[in-house]
Amino acid sequence: MSKIYVDEILPKDNAKITAADLQLPAGSVIQVQSTSTNTPTTINATQTWTAATNFYVSITPKFATSKILIVANVDYDANAAGRMQWFTLYRDSTNLGNVNNGFSANTSSGSRLQGEAGMNYLDSPNTTSSITYSVYTKCNSTPTYVNLYGSYSTITVMEIAQ
């Protein structure tokens, strides 16, 4: 069996190879950014999309053709009967979900509405500038609590090669 050992591989013009020179297979993960929080937050957002405080993640795509996979999980509590709760994802100031209903809608069947709202979305931002993804919520009565009992909510973004 033969082996080849090298210290460096350079293009013909002796320039360094950069990320722009690489051709990754479609579906390859280029980079991952993630954040989590267990800070309790009260959101008074009746029928208006409102950002969950300090719950966002930023990413600067390396290629304009890349997709961004967003995966978010929110721990929430709405202590009221007849409660309706919606969650969505924003890219900067753009709502990525259904304008009225977002990605996740939950209704209380008893005197309390609490649980985990999970959201996934494959975005095509078409940029190499920094972008911020955030979780927003609204409800039919106030307030809503995120991480009320110190549990964690997370948001992860992955740049995917195309």
CATH number for 44: 2.60.120.760
State the pLDDT at residue 145: 83
State the pLDDT at residue 157: 98
pLDDT in tens, 74-127: 988 876 666 778 889 999 999 999 888 888 777 766 667 778 889 999 999 999
- Flag whether 116 is in a domain: yes
- Flag whether 5 is in a domain: no
pLDDT in tens, 149-159: 888 999 999 99
Instruction: Please give the Cα distance from 143 to 42 (Å, whole number).
Output: 6
pLDDT at 5 over 80: yes
Q: Containing domain of residue 155, as a range?
A: 36-160
pLDDT in tens, 15-73: 666 666 667 889 999 999 999 999 888 887 677 888 887 889 999 999 999 999 999 99
Q: Which residue has the tokens 């106030």?
A: 142
- Flag whether 77 is in a domain: yes
- Flag whether 16 is in a domain: no
- Flag whether 61 is in a domain: yes
Task: Please state the pTM of the whole predicted model.
Answer: 0.82
Instruction: Please give the Cα distance from 100 to 34 (Å, whole number).
Output: 27
Other C-beta atoms within 10 Å of 116: how many? 12
State the pLDDT at residue 20: 60
Q: Is the dihedral of CA 93, 74, 58, 52 positive or negative?
A: positive
State the pLDDT at residue 23: 74
Instruction: Please give the Cα distance from 140 to 10 (Å, whole number).
Output: 61
- Flag whether 53 is in a domain: yes
- Flag whether 139 is in a domain: yes
For the chain, what is the domain count? 1
**85, 86, 90, 94 alpha-carbon torsion, rounded to 10°:** -120
- Flag whether 6 is in a domain: no
